[in-house]
Structure 1
Amino acid sequence: MIYTDQLQRKIELLKVPKRIISLVPSQTELLVALGLNEIIVGVTKFCIHPNTIRKEKTIVGGTKRINYEKVRRLNPDIILCNKEENTKEMVENLQKEYPVHVSDIFSITDALEMIRQYGEIFKKEKEAGQLISKITLEQASFIKSIENIPNKKRVVYFIWKDPWIAVGNNTFINHMLQLNNFENVFHHKTRYPEVSPEEISSLKKLDLILLSSEPFPFSEKHILEIEKINNNAEIVLVDGEYFSWYGSRLVEAFSYFKTLHR
């Protein structure tokens, strides 16, 4: 069978894959949700959901660097990657030896398409369809719950410090901010712009500063730190997985967003 991934690459599979290596944490969690845990053989050190996965599977490296010999010993039928999470070099090297599916996610629509593709490839169409329906219903319920909010809140969303790195446009996180009826102050900047303390200090018309739990583990002490730079906005610690994980985590994301708005 010939399949097409989200980069429009053709993938030829002679049989339904029975040995999967996943190099993307949110996609690993999705595989488990689809009932594929038994055929996952390799994951990254960042694959933390479910919390037993790293004890049960072989860790082949991180999302940017992997041990190719470990991959070869696992003899995978397919390797699952993502354009943003993994490097182009990694994909090019792996595809010389194995079928490699690459996801490319900028929106909920993209995420649902990835789920559909996994359902087709792994013959889990029913499970994928149920998951897609659940996410779609949760999203509709959330949008209805915030439709009467009169004004958009102006926000900045930080994912790193030293240097401070914010979220710009052309990212899945920015899409999720838009769904929350938030106006991203840095929407005019591409991807993940580095922002100087002086630039943060100069932000005046700002409602919220959101500090993500990942990839940098922001905590209470960082609230005090950024207050010294800019005290013109409310500073909130947020669960980054609900803003950036685009697999089955989306089922819970919209309930989290409802709580966040309350």
Structure 2
Amino acid sequence: MNTDQAFELLIEAGVTEDTSIQTVRRWFRERKITYKGSGQDTGYILDNTDQAFHLLKDAGVADSTAVQIVRRMLREGQIEKVGSGIQKPTYPTKESAPKQLTHRSTDQDMIIRQLKVKIKAQDEHIKGIEHLHQTSVASLIQQIDKLKKDMIHLIKEKSELQRETKKLLKENINLTNELLKLKGEVLKGNQKSDQADDVPPSSAPITIDYRQKLGLSKMASDKEVLTKYKKLLKITHPDHGGNATAFHFIKTDYDQFRHSINLK
């Protein structure tokens, strides 16, 4: 029996690969295998059933399993003849010096061959890990690029919001100043009205310059005046957090101006 046949026998018997390798090496040392295999799947031939049974038992295969395997091998013609059932197989006990060297060489060759197979499998595994690593790195780079673009977009939006906020604050300040100005003018007008109560009424009508009160041009249209008033009414409305007194004065001017337009 050669090394390939012995290894195949143990694998078919359910022995693990590592145990099979160790067993084949031991059979070499014990001269139960006398020559090297060809490395090709050529089958294996045993002298008799006793030899097959004792080899399987020596490898740690259970009796029931060994018997079934020997019977199958006998049916398939892998065993030449049936043994006596009690005879132990005999193996060559004497080897010349050149053959002993050959056994050692073939043992090393088999180990080298097995190691090459394992190294090749490990190389394939490493290649797979490297490919997975490269794929992961590429995916991370894409995600980082996307995050950078999103960050630039958010910074741009933030800048736009800041500009819009400054613009709104400026408009609010301007409107507040206009409101204070109107309030001062209203209070001033009330004082003049109180003084007028002590003076005989004049026949000349009182003319109010609404455009001047609103800070508009004298050439501003009636529509522009109404738009300005509506904007002030919205800001000063109590429901929107405005001042009720200021809203009342502005609403009075607005109604008077609209009434004067309707009379034209």
Structure showing greater Rg: 2
Which has the larger share of helix? 2
What TM-score do you get using the length of structure 2 for normalisation? 0.18
Which has the larger share of strand? 1
What TM-score do you get using the length of structure 1 for normalisation? 0.19
